[in-house]
Every structure is written in C-alpha cells, then in structure tokens.
Structure 1
C-alpha cells in the first residue's frame, strides 16, 4: 500500500478549524449553563495541544452520578451551531462505569466528528493530557491514562452500521490529508481498495460514497462529498 510522500501532504484547512472552534465555543457555553454538568475538558489531540486544522473533537463531561445515563442519550448533548446527523452508543471506548457517544454534526455543509465521554463525578479524574474547560468541584488530575477494563460494546442495527460507514469516510479523508498510514487501512475497512497512490485513495473514497442511497442520509452524504472536495488540491 502506498501513499504520497511526506512533502506532498494536503495543506492546512483553516475553514475546518474555524467550524470546529465555533462549534466548541457554542457547546461549551451551553455546558457551563447546565447545572448537572460538574465539569468538562478537551481530551485527545485538542486537549494535549497537538491538534491541527483537520482534528476532530474529543470532549470529556463529568456529570452527577444519577445523571450518567441521561447524558448518554445523543439528544441530551448540545449540538451547537450544527445539526447532528449520526450518533452511536460508544461506551466500549471508555472504562467500566462510564458512557460514551460518538456523533457527527454538519456545520456549514461540512462534517464534524465528536467523541463524547461521560463520566460520573464519583469516578472522575482529569486525564494528564487534557485541557480543563471548567470544573465546579476541584476534580483531581490523574497521573496516567486509564488502562483498565472497558465497557462492553453495544449491538448496532444494520442502519446504524451503514450510517457509521458513511460517517467514517471523512475520517479516512482526514487521515489521507495527513498522509497517514491509517488511511489505506480505514479505506479497506470501509470496503474500498487500499492499494495505489494518494489519488487512487481519494478516488476509492469517492467510489465508496456511490454505495449510499442519497435519499437515506442526504445531509451526511453531501457533507462527506464536500469534505472530499477539500482534498482536491494539486499534489
């Protein structure tokens, strides 16, 4: 499997960063006004200060214990200036006793992937590579990343699986923009041909889009196509 060379990576995409920052500003303001949210932090690349224009959002919420399951419902989470077009129960990404939701929002016609991690205050610590947005209780910072048991995965319906495949196409495109070795693997996972050049990989992602019924997921499909258009720069 081949990609283009490291000096041929797609240039920065400030429009994506602007959409992400605007979404985060609105969402964090909504969370701060929610009395059931004890605290919130950015984790992942944004929390660690390693983000680029293509980075998605990872948000850790700490809520009152009795509110844990309430916040594991996508409708309970703020959508900011975007519209949620996809969401799944992703508790398998977090430790036992916590919840998680993976969602895609469309903002200004482009997709934004957000991983929400919801922890009860009784089990909460801030990860070492995180940026705390607000904290009403003085939660301790952990000295290491969590490495214990994860929650069990939940079953996905065929419709959810189909929507997940579509939502992952921009993730593969992000990997391609970064010239990451993960891009061919994600393309293969999605059912595309992982072999070839950078242009072949982009063509494979466009081919994958043709497998989806435009009447079933019109907004997500249009957003994924617009996202691929961002990669159409000379290489």
Structure 2
C-alpha cells in the first residue's frame, strides 16, 4: 500500500519529468506550443495521474518530428517501454505511450504531436507555453431535438433492455460479467445525461461510478436499482429533448430485478 510519503515522491518525480519535457520542447524551435490534457490539464490530477502531453509542431517540420517520435521522446530520458498509438494520433500528427523510470516504478507519458495548422487548444487544457497563436477549440454546437432524439431513444431503450440481462448474470453468480455490464449501463446513463444537458461533457471510457465496485449480489442489485431510478428520473428531460422512454416495460423490468434480489 502506498504511504503519504510514497504519494509525495510520485508527485515529485512526475513534476521533475514534466519539467524536463517542458524545457526540451521550449528549446526546440520546431515546437510552437505545448499543453497538458487529461486530469493534469483539468486540474483534477492525483499522485497517480499520467502526463497527457500535446506538442504543436510547425507544419514544415511535423512530418520529420513524427517520423522520429520514438527518438524524440527519448531525449527526456531513456524510456523503459514505447507503444505507438496510431489510432489515437491527431490528423497529420502522431501519438505514442512511453514509460519512464521513477523512484517507485514507472511514470507514463502519453505523447501527442499535432501540426500547427491543425492545432486547437481544448477548454480543459493547461497551456505550458506558446510561441505562436493557438486558436481555442470551439464548443460543440447545441444539437436540436430532431438530431438528439433518435440517439436518446436508442440509448434509453438500450439501458432498460440491459437491466434484465444484468439481473440474469447476478443470479448466475458471474461477477466478472456483472461488472462488465454494470460499467456499460453506467456509461449509457452518463451519455443520456449528457444528451439532455444534465452533465457538461460527454462521458469517456475513463468514467467510472464513484466508490468501490459492487462485488456481491446484494450490492450489485442495489447498484442496478439506483441506476434504474436515476434513469427513470431523466424521463421528462428525455421526452422534452425529443426522445422516447419505454414506459410500459419499466414496471416488469423492476419485477425482474426483484427476482434477482438475494434472500427475497
């Protein structure tokens, strides 16, 4: 178990690594700007948070920098491991994950390189420096009910359809499958909240319910019922935004959840 002293050391090592990265980027005339995203960018980082680093490269130099990206990130210090991430690369850029040695193990840096002409500063980013102008990313335009209604209907119906399936696996005492499905329906609930304006941003794969995961049947059913009640409460907002709610199915679905309740 990590002690408070360990957590402090992790933060110190990360700050030192970030300092070396920032100094290296600032000294490179090809780099126009750099910023942090993720929890460090949003100001919600803890001692275990990774570094999500974006480097804006002059258009004329971007292809060369991206081609030598592994050598580039080794300027900071010899990485223990490098994993290319082409699926995460911005348009015209590159991305990779690098693990660097730390006092208590490793520090992860997710590197992103983007050409200057494609760079937009996200609203939840922390700017490290800028030698040129970086326009802010425009907020996502509000969508009309005609645009979000079908998606709301799909996701709301999907949510309620999944609850009897979760109940089935709770009765079968298959905790791994239950946890997989709980994460899925939680994410679906969060997406519906975002669509109706009940949360500011769309959910990501990193979003998790607060607290410890429910591992026994009693707490799993309780968690499902809690999510069901929260989704049911969104009903008026779903309808107001052009979606539909499968109201006739909800009472029988609740009865199915009662059947999965231990020691009925």
Report the TM-score when normalising by structure 2. 0.49
The residue aligned with 2:53 is: 59
Contact 2:55 2:112 in 1 (8 A): yes
Structure with the largest fraction of helix: 2
Aligned-residue CA RMSD (Å):
2.7
1:117 aligns with 2:112: yes
1:78 shift after superposition: 5.0
For structure 1, which segment, 15-24 or 86-95, has the greater mean C-alpha deviation from structure 2 after superposition? 86-95
- Residue 15 (structure 1) aligns with: 9
Partner SS, residue 82 of structure 2: strand
Of structures 1 and 2, the one with the larger relative CO (CA 8 A, separation 6+) is: 1
- After the TM superposition, which residues 46-125 of structure 1 pair with which residues of structure 2 at under 5 Å, given as runs? 46-72=40-66, 73-80=69-76, 82-108=77-103, 110-125=105-120
Indicate the structure (1 or 2) with the bigger Cα radius of gyration.
Answer: 2
* Cα displacement (A) at 1:109: 5.3
Gaps of 5+ in 2: 141-209, 217-264
User: Normalising to structure 1: TM-score of the pair?
Assistant: 0.54
In structure 1, C-alpha distance between the alignment counterparts of 2:58 and 2:34, rounded to whole Å: 12
Matched, 1:30 2:24: yes
Give the Cα separation in 2 of the matches to 1:107 and 1:62: 26
**Deviation of residue 10 (structure 1)?**
6.1
Shift of 1:11: 5.9
The 1:144–1:102 alpha-carbon spacing in structure 2 relative to 1, beyond 3 Å, is farther
Call closer, same or farther: CA 1:144–1:78 in 2, change over 3 Å.
farther
Deviations 1:116-152 (A, max 9, x none): 111000111111110111111121111348xxxxxxx
Note the C-alpha offset of 1:77.
Answer: 2.4
Where in structure 1 do 4 or more consecutive aligned residues deviate above 3 Å?
9-12, 178-181
Structure 1: gaps spanning 5 or more residues: 1-8, 146-177, 182-194, 197-235
